[in-house]
Amino acid sequence: MRYLIALALRSAWNRRYTLSFTLLSIALATTLLVGVERLRHDVRESFSQSVSGTDLVVGARSSPVQLMLYAVFRIGEASQNMRWTSAQKISRHPAVAWSIPLSLGDSHHGFPVLGTSLDYFTHFRYGDRQHLRLQAGKPFEGVFDAVLGAEVARRLGYRLGQKIVLTHGSGALEGAAHGDKPFFIVGILAPTGTPVDRTVHISLAGMEAVHLDWQGGAPVPGFSIPSELVRKFDLTPRTLTAQLVGLKQRGDVFAMQRAIADDVDEPLMGVLPGVTLDQIWEVVGQGEQALLLVSWLVALVGLGGLVAVILASLDARRRELAILRSVGARPRELLVLLAIEGVSVTVGGILTGLALLAALLFFGTPWIEIHYGIALNGLSLSRDDLVSLAKLLGWILLAGSVASLLPGLRAYRLSLIDGLTPRT
């Protein structure tokens, strides 16, 4: 067996240029397949951890999926708001440790505007219970202070101290801008890979201030309150979109959920974030299967190239194989020889592909997080990740081994006379 391995390596070296392209195709297929699998896993983790450490998301009684999509991902719209008094009642409940009010509805150049309290910067968690960090500036303090998500600041080129104008609703209607009450950027959050990056954050008082002279979703004709006078009015909100709730003891979550549902003052519901996010992923996560299928097809193309190259070289090597037969090589040894070549190229392609993927993750993870808001784990692998990776690479190696047997079987059938007799 040792001499067959040495012979296979020398033969491969003589055809190194041809086999190099085959190895490269397998390496690229491995990079794509393992990279897509890793990206799929990290995207799902990032999706499921868009909000963490929150026990309940409370809102008006409707669809749990609709509430989560709007309150967490800023997608769609709320069918109905909840009263401020109800939110205060929940926050005073003995089982509640903290609560974060959320008020949505306005936008800025297509980015959602969130009215909230300073508790948002203290208690909101994402990922593995990570805190929000300010990349620059400070949290809002004044009525017209704004804190931008990382993607908002990057895409719009904003800096601290700049003035921005919010728009009522999605901004589709003409004259919906709150131009008489501009906000000033006082802080920019560090990237999180969550919808926080795409959000403009203001205070609840600021959200109320811009709507003092609005009624029914439109400005009151002939009536305007200057920004310097808004502090003379009561800026306590009357309604909220939703409320994030953290409990003192996680075991009280179902009792608290029932208490919210049984409240006679207002029909509300408390949604378990993890359960609802899994339901949402069942709908939006179908694309990951199609992406994985495409990457497997690319891997099969690479392995098909390996078969094609070895088969194409067989005619040129028939005399070589016949000479080996003439010096005592048995047919099964020819089969083993070509199988060793194929497996070696497959293993080389896998190792090259892993090295390429490691380099891409090392240099590309920060760029992907900044530009696409996807939080990748980079080169860090958990025990489950290692097991999954080993299984995936095992399938690639098995497929390469099977593919390399096809040319070997053909060589096995070549006879000594056929190899030594030139074709006419």
Burial class (CB in 10 A: 0-12, 13-18, 19+), 130: middle
Is the predicted pLDDT of residue 373 greater than 60, yes or no? no
| Mean pLDDT (the chain, rounded) | 80
Q: What is the predicted pLDDT for the residue at 241? A: 93
d(CA 33, CA 27): 10
Q: How would you classify the pairing of strands 200-203 and 218-219?
A: unpaired
Cβ count within 10 A of residue 387: 11
Mean pLDDT of 51-69: 88
Categorize the per-residue pLDDT at 317 as very low, low, confident or very high, splitting at 50, 70 and 90. low
Q: Which residues contact 311 (CB under 8 A, 6 or more apart)?
A: 406, 407, 410
Cα–Cα–Cα angle for 133, 193, 244, nearest 5°? 70
Q: What is the predicted pLDDT for the residue at 27? A: 84
d(CA 191, CA 375): 9
pLDDT in tens, 258-316: 999 998 889 999 999 888 887 777 766 666 677 667 767 776 776 676 667 666 666 65
Mean pLDDT of 194-211: 92
d(CA 195, CA 373): 8
d(CA 412, CA 108): 70
Nearest Cα neighbor of 342 from 414, 410, 415 is: 410
pTM of the model: 0.71
Q: Which residues contact 7 (CB under 8 A, 6 or more apart)?
A: 337
